[in-house]
Structures are given as structure tokens and as C-alpha cells.
Chain A
Amino acid sequence: MSDSSLQNLPKGWKSVPNDLGSDQTAFKGVQWGKAMMWIFLLSDTFIFSCFLISYMKGRASTVVDWPNTSEVFSLDFMGVPVPLLLIAIMTFVLITSSGTMALAVKYGYEKNRKMCGWLILATAIGGLTFVGMQAYEWSKLIHEGVRPWSNPFGAAQFGSYFFMITGFHGTHVSIGVIFLFIFARKVFRGDFDKGKRGFFTTMKSDYVSIEILGLYWHFVDLVWVFIFAFFYLW
């Protein structure tokens, strides 16, 4: 919120024609990097939607039975197969990391350097745990004979959709983890307190970067909510 006159502008629906028609900055009070991250996330939404819609179409149009996901993704716990156990744990891990990220953003804006850094680090470790469990899940399914072109459980399309969708999501998580570690280092070093200039830019660092990073990380969690519902539960 750089513009202090923001308080005097109209609020609610009236603000839309006011902000868009004023021949000035459309997204008032939104740092440009944050607006660009939102637009990137919107385009990413379209990519993931295309994946999930093609999965829906493929699943709806196959004449062979779809594999029973709660059996395919069950995990033996003390000799008893528990349906979707690993997926449930992965979901909780990702939500936990989303929570720590939200708190990191809050402490960042409060200029609480230590708390912010530790929470980002916790988020990164959560993401790393998630990717590790996904790697385990992939190797388990590959061992059981799931391939992009065939699988022993049912419709052949299952494998290609599974690897494509979870793989693309896992890539997003991995990239997020890399950035989380980089930003944890920056926070601990005090870049955002001192306004140190970044690696690729001459602009001064600001804690708004943590919010932008947080937007990306919450988006990854958001996509998982949809994958969990449509791919694993449906």
C-alpha cells in the first residue's frame, strides 16, 4: 500500500469503473510485481484447467472402467491397506506449508526478520517432504506396472493423465521449494530490511516479495485442492 490517498477512493463495486477509467494505474495499491504474479497465476490456472478438463473428457469417454483410485493409491500401514493414506498425508503436509507461508508473509510485513525466515524455511521443508512423497508414489506405481500407455488396473489413459497432471504440479512445487530456500537466505541475510538490490534488478528489495512468493506457494496448494478432489477422490 504505497498510495496513502487510497483511503479516499471509492470502495466496493464503485471502485471498478473508478480504478479502470481513471487513465492511471489500474491496480491501485498493488505493487507491480504482485500484479504480474497474479497474471502469471491466472495463465497457470488456464494450463492446469486444460489438463484437468482433458482428464475429465478422457475419463468420461472411455468405454473401459476407470481404475479405482482408493485401491490404486492405498498404502499398507502395519499390514492393512489404508485407502489414499499417502495422498491424505501429502494434502496435510501441503496445507501445513501453506499456513506457515501465510504467517511468513504476515511477519515479513511486520519486519520480524527471524520469524519470517524460519517460517519460510519451514515452508520449504514442507514442500520438500511433499515432493519426496510424490517421488515415492511415482516409483511405487511404476513398480506396479503403471505406464503412460497402459496399466494393470483399468483404462489405459489413467497413466498418462496421472503422470502429466501430478508431474506438472510436482514441478511447480519443486520450483517453489528452490525459490523458498533462496528467499529464506535473503530474509536471514537482511536483504529486505536494508533494501539491498537484487541479483537481476537494480530495485531495492522489499518485504512485498515475500507476499509474491506466498501467492505462488498458495497457488500450488490451491491446484492440489483441485487435483485431490478430481483425480484422487472422484
Chain B
Amino acid sequence: MSENLEINKNKQKQETTHKIGIYLWIWGLLFVLSFFSYMVDWYQFQGLLRWSLILFFMFLKAGLIMAFFMHLFWERYTLVNVLLWPMTAIACFVGLMVAEGKYTVFTRFIYFVLGE
């Protein structure tokens, strides 16, 4: 019985602390990705290439921070699901406001530019 407890304790230890290497790797990757996203501005990429690169680096950085620095990668799925599903509501809101913004600028052009 006590032996079993000891094994469980060791298992727990492995779960709560991780090797330092993983943190240093993520840290380094975050630096590199930030440098790349800064380079997007430095080289003045424009249009679709700029937007897709910005979003790509942004989501990659956010994912790495959440998964490893905030330990979500090691959490049980219940917590992960509770945290990530509400994000779909935000995505819907973004979609709605994109449409709304387009409509607003359309009406503004009609009334401001084309006249009274």
C-alpha cells in the first residue's frame, strides 16, 4: 500500500513539473516568432501576404503560450473545453462586426461622398 502511494507521488511529481528544456524551447520559439512578425513590418509586406503572416505568427505565439506556459497541454480536456469553446462566440462576434463595419462604411460613402 505505502509502496503504491510512493509510486503515485512520483507520478504526480512528473505531471506537475516538466523538464526545463521544454520551457527554454518555447521561450526561444516565442522570440523567433516575434522577430518574424516584426520583420513583416520591417520589409513592409502589404495586402493578403501581410495579413496572413501577422495572423499566422499571432496564433502560433498565442497557442504556444497557452499550451506550454499556461500548461493547457497537460490539463484534462474538461478544463480545456470550458476555456476554448467560448472563443467561438468571440469568433461569431468578429464575423458580425466585419459585416457591420462594411455596411457602415458603405452608407458613409453614400451620404458623405455622393452628397445630400
Contacts and interface: CB of A to CB of B under 8 A. Distances in A.
A37 to B, nearest CB: 10
A210 B103 CA distance: 47
B78 A15 contact: yes
Contacts of A19: 76-78
A121 interface: no
- B interface, how many residues as a size bin? 35 or more
A143 interface: no
B55 to A, nearest CB: 7
B97 A56 contact: yes
Contacts of A233: 37, 40-41, 50, 54
Interface SS of chain B: helix
B34 to A, nearest CB: 5
A4 B37 CA distance: 43
Interface residues of A, number: 59
A12 interface: yes
Q: Which 8 A-B pairs have the closest CB atoms?
A: A60-B101, A61-B104, A99-B27, A229-B58, A4-B8, A19-B78, A1-B12, A61-B101
12 contacts: A1-B15, A15-B76, A16-B78, A30-B79, A60-B104, A83-B42, A95-B27, A98-B30, A99-B27, A102-B23, A106-B23, A233-B50
Interface of A: 1, 4, 7, 11-13, 15-16, 19-20, 26-30, 35, 38, 42, 45-46, 49, 53-54, 56-57, 59-63, 70, 83-84, 88, 91-92, 95, 98-99, 101-103, 106, 109-110, 211, 214-215, 218-219, 221-222, 225-226, 228-229, 232-234
Given A13-B77, A214-B70, A232-B41, 16 more contacts: A1-B12, A15-B76, A15-B77, A15-B78, A38-B83, A60-B102, A62-B105, A63-B108, A63-B109, A95-B30, A98-B65, A99-B24, A102-B69, A109-B16, A222-B62, A229-B58
